[in-house]
Structure 1
Amino acid sequence: MSGTTMIVLIVLISVGSGVIYDMYKKHLEFKHKVQDNNQDAHKQLAEVTAQVTELKQRVQTLEAIVTDSSYSVKQEINKL
């Protein structure tokens, strides 16, 4: 191998390893962002699930009130 070839190879290896290192850093940053977004999504999902559960309970209570026979009697009395 000539000296020029060795210098070119050394430069290529140095530049290549720098590029690979930068790509790895970008990959880690992306992975961290995705992880943060997933955690936020899980928190939002938990909040929405709690709200849906609460609303279901409210609807069940309202259904029980409306379907109760005394409620319909009160409605008829109020109409008179």
Structure 2
Amino acid sequence: MSGTTMVVVIVCVVCGILYKMYNKHLEFKAKTFAHNDNTDDKNDELKKEIHALNERVQVLEKIVTDEGYQVQKDINNL
């Protein structure tokens, strides 16, 4: 095998390996973007749920701190 042929073979092998590595990198990026989109959807759902729970806690705090609730509690304790 001549030196020129060896160089051509080595360059072709290296290019093939780089091409496969690049394809694997693109597949990984696609999976990462898909995962991030799913995570963003879940985060939005969780934020809505937290907001709803905060509203419920505020309503419960208003009920508990209301003077009528305290009077009813005092009556029940008697």
**TM range, smaller chain:** over 0.9
* Residue identity opposite 1:51 in structure 2: E
Q: List runs of 5+ in structure 2 lacking aligned partners.
A: none
> Is the partner of 2:2 in helix, strand or coil?
helix
Pair 1:36-2:34 in alignment: yes
Match of residue 25 from structure 1: 23
- Which of 65, 70, 73 is matched with 1:72 structurally? 70
TM-score when normalising by structure 2 = 0.93
Counterpart-to-counterpart distance in 2, 1:36 and 1:62: 40
* Residue identity opposite 2:3 in structure 1: T
Q: List runs of 5+ in structure 1 lacking aligned partners.
A: none
Equivalent residue pairs, number: 78
TM-score when normalising by structure 1 = 0.91
Runs of 4 or more, structure 1, over 4 Å off, are none
